[in-house]
Chain A
Amino acid sequence: MISAERSQSQSPRSPAAAAAAGAPYLSISVTDPVKMGTGVQSYISYRVITKTNLPEFEGGEKIVIRRYSDFEWLHDRLAEKFKGIFIPPLPEKNAVEKFRFSKEFIELRRQALDLFVNRTASHPELKQSEDLRTFLQADEEKMDRARSYESGMFKKPGDFLQMFKDVQSKVSDVVLGKEKPVEESTPEYEKLKHYIFELENHLAEAQKQAYRLVKRHRELGQSLADFGKAIKLLGACEGDSLEKVFSEVGSKSEMLSIKLQREADNLLFNFEEPLKDYVRAVQSIKATMLDRANAFRQHFDLDQERKYKELNLEKLKFMNPEKFSESEVEFSELKAASEEATKRYEHIVSVMNDELARFQEQKTADIGLAFHEFAKGQAKLAKDIADAWRSVLPKLEACSTS
């Protein structure tokens, strides 16, 4: 089982040590993927283990069974309630059928889900979410009920990816101001918008190449193995001393093939996946930007309406006193709504600023680690290749002099 360090959701000290020290701890892990059901209905279930001494939770250790749509539910609830915050991203929902239950896919998804839950639990705001507690503790029945209740309310346009696709085009239109001339526009925010959109493109390209690189390692590994076998067979035809040295070369080829496959796995989990994670994070920011744009429009529209109504009210006061009191009530409601909308918008703006700083810090660390693993892996592979071939060279030299 590939275990990147990121997949271990550990707090700095072990739960036991923390408990002993009396300090608050919350440790969550998503483990043990199991295929359930048959055929088209089949899905993967995960075990979510929560260990905590925090008072909000119901006890020391809780184990629940969850599936992908449960995680989705949690994500959507958080997105609904915590506007302005960059919700930790989920792995993609759909996968090509035959790939769906491959060992790698399952492990990658498990890691991504584990990251999701832990990031949520580490976020100063999100960790307080009641929905998070429900997710971590509710029994399966309660969870099912909560989920189906919500999916009735949310008109989700299909799967997560599809939603993001919609969001993306919507965001482009709204945020970039194509839909209506009304939109907030400070030079700073413009710069930010442009940055986020461009960043996604660059990252997506890098991730695409990283994925291809994984494939290339596998392909090279395969052809090295085949080549090694062929060389061995050639040596067998030749006989005597040449056969031995051909066989050595063939064996080294086969050995290196295995190393290449291992490096392919390493690249997939420790380089390509973090890049993908980065892309997802940027997409999450775009979703928040959409929220911000909507909030801005609401605030702006209500504000305009209020100003207009205010003017009319003045006129009405003198022209139609009976209507006036009615309108006055309407107006104060409107005023409240407008202030509400403005507050919401401003909240999003301030939260976003904090989130951005956090995001930058976090991503530098995440991607720095990915780079480190990449370089380490490549260095080791190259060293193994050099060592393997150097070891065979003396035998080859010996043959030609004889």
Chain B
Amino acid sequence: MMSSSPLAGAGDGDMESLPLAAASDYASVASTFDPLLSTSPPSPPAPAPAAFPLSRASSSFVDPPSYADVAAASSPRSASSSPATPRSARAAASSYSHIAVSDPETAAEPAATSLVSGSAPTYVSYLVTSAAAHPSARRHAVRRRFRDFVTLADRLADAFRGHFVPPRPDKNTVESQVMQRDEFVAQRRAALERYLCRLAEHPAIGPSDELRVFLQAEGRLPLPTSTDVASRMLDGAARLPRQLLGEDAVAPPQDVVQPAKGGRDLLRIFKELKQSVVTDWGGVKPPLVEEDKEFLEKKQKVQDWEQQLSSASQQAEALVKAQQDMGDTMGALGLAFVKLTKFETEEAMYDSQRIRAVDSKRIATAAVKASRTCRDLNTQTVKYLDTLHEHLGIMLSVHTAFSDRASALLTVQTLMSDLASLQSRIEKLEAASSKVFGGDRTRMRKVEELRETIRATEDAKCCALREYERIKENNKVELSRLDRERREDFLEMLKGYVTSQAAYAEKIVDGWETVAEETSGYGRRSDNMTS
């Protein structure tokens, strides 16, 4: 709103340069948005990617950067311009020295069944470029669509139980309909890039095969897709009869390692559900409990922290909005005085009008400058306070890791009570059979079968126990990593916030003090009411 109206006739270079300066400010911010503008372009075709970032940059000339754009600008690569911050140290230790998501392209669905005549369903694919962190690594470039990212996320969730796996960007099905297409795609692109960078920085996930395959395997993604829950349930329902009739009664040990709920083993789901009910409501002490007091304390602390974090995140949003509004209104005020100045200058019939025009011009200039500074500050504030929102996202992965632990424990408990009941059945059978003279062949055969089952179940229990311990260890390691990173991140956030606030304030003090000085003559004449 400030940059569009030219000031004809005001005659002062000072005023006329203001709108142009505003444009160049935005240009410099715009160039940090898209990585393609700051890094050397990879092998894929250049013209198509170039069109995309430029169209976004030109829209920034008129509007201030949107929240999403600024959030993207705080991705590791652009943040690492300030040396030796904990964040940049983490980015430097990443398993990949370069990751970028770019070049969104629309393609038609392969097996297109158009529900609406005349429009084939389409999807967007992104170019994912990367280079591993060792010196001689070559650049890779693959095409991936959002669904592939979902697959990656699901595979990682399965493979890294107990770890704090960075949460993937939301599906946002509602927003994708409501938002402007370009804006939505831009937002998503930035979020996906950030997601991959966080994955690469994770000490366990960064070096993983799943990530490597995602980043490097050309063509279609060779990770098994996760089908939706409904079809899984159907699949499981097909196997249920066999399970009930005893043929599939024992799950193969390695399957036990997977959580029941995601799998096809309906029988196991039922059993574990029953076990958890017994544990929670039956008042029966389960065979194994969460004994680690340290963990329980930690869990409580995490929950308290999350509550405060959520509230702080909300307040930060409100603060950013208030700052934005302040900048906008100051700008509007400046503009009103610009117009008044022009008017008084043009229509001057008295000398005093010219004096007033000079005064109002001083105010206008100071106000417009303060407004721009305020908006620049807000960009910084958004960037720093984003730490709050990001850590809220991390809380999600913490919850997932804790529930991985809980479900692993439940599996162990279920198997243990299975064992217990099998054992008691054997005892009953043996007791009954001993009463029959010469032994009871049917019963003895049954006992043998049960002993077999017990052996298999013991194996499964050992697997489950190992898995549980593994997850516990992961939790512990991750919790201490989170503690450390949280302290680092929050200190950095506060430092950044405080520094930018101080810098902004210092910048505008001079402007206002000058105007106060220039108008101090009026201040001395305080009795302006008597003639």
Contacts and interface: CB of A to CB of B under 8 A. Distances in A.
A212 interface: yes
B315 to A, nearest CB: 4
B506 interface: yes
B237 interface: no
Contacts of A364: 352-353, 355-356, 359
B304 A237 contact: yes
Interface string A9-29: 111100000000000000000
Nearest to B347: A195
Interface stretch (A316-324, A333-341, A366-374): A366-374
B301 interface: yes
B347 A191 contact: yes
Contacts of A361: 352
A161 interface: no
B326 A367 contact: no
Interface residues of B, number: 71
B356 A368 contact: yes
B515 A371 contact: yes
Chain B binding site: helix, strand, loop or mixed by DSSP? helix
B527 A10 contact: yes
B387 to A, nearest CB: 11
A207 to B, nearest CB: 9
Interface stretch (A90-98, A134-142, A224-232): A224-232
Contacts of A245: 491, 494
Given A5-B526, A198-B343, A206-B340, A399 B508 contact: no
- Residue from A115, A206, A226, A361 with most neighbouring chain B CB atoms (10 Å): A206
Nearest to A368: B522
A199 interface: yes
Interface stretch (A31-39, A45-53, A116-124, A286-294): A116-124
Interface string B336-354: 1101100100010110110
A77 interface: no
Contacts of B322: 216, 219-220, 222-224
Contacts of A383: 505, 509
A192 interface: yes
A390 B527 CA distance: 38
B495 A393 contact: yes
Contacts, number: 222
Interface residues of A, number: 81
Interface in A379-402: 379, 382-383, 385-386, 389-390, 392-393, 396-397, 399-400
A209 B350 CA distance: 27
B311 interface: yes
A210 B329 CA distance: 8
A223 B494 contact: no
Given A205-B336, A360-B352, A368-B521, A386 B343 contact: no
B332 interface: yes
Nearest to B487: A242
Contacts of A222: 322
Interface in A267-302: none
A226 B350 contact: no
B505 A389 contact: yes
B53 to A, nearest CB: 33
B264 to A, nearest CB: 41
B499 interface: yes
A217 B352 contact: no
Given A246-B494, A400-B491, A375 B512 contact: yes
Contacts of A315: none
B196 interface: no
A349 B240 CA distance: 104
Contact of B513 (A212, A365, A379): A379
A396 B314 CA distance: 23
A368 B347 CA distance: 19
Contacts of B336: 202, 205-206, 208-209
Contacts of A210: 333
A212 B522 contact: no
B474 to A, nearest CB: 23
Given A195-B349, A374-B363, 10 more contacts: A6-B529, A224-B319, A227-B315, A238-B487, A367-B359, A378-B508, A393-B499, A393-B502, A396-B495, A400-B491
7 contacts: A233-B308, A234-B490, A357-B350, A361-B352, A373-B523, A379-B516, A400-B492
Interface of B: 301, 304-305, 308-309, 311-312, 314-316, 318-319, 321-323, 325-326, 329-330, 332-333, 336-337, 339-340, 343, 347, 349-350, 352-353, 355-356, 359-360, 362-363, 366, 370, 487-488, 490-492, 494-495, 498-499, 501-502, 504-506, 508-509, 512-513, 515-516, 519-523, 525-531
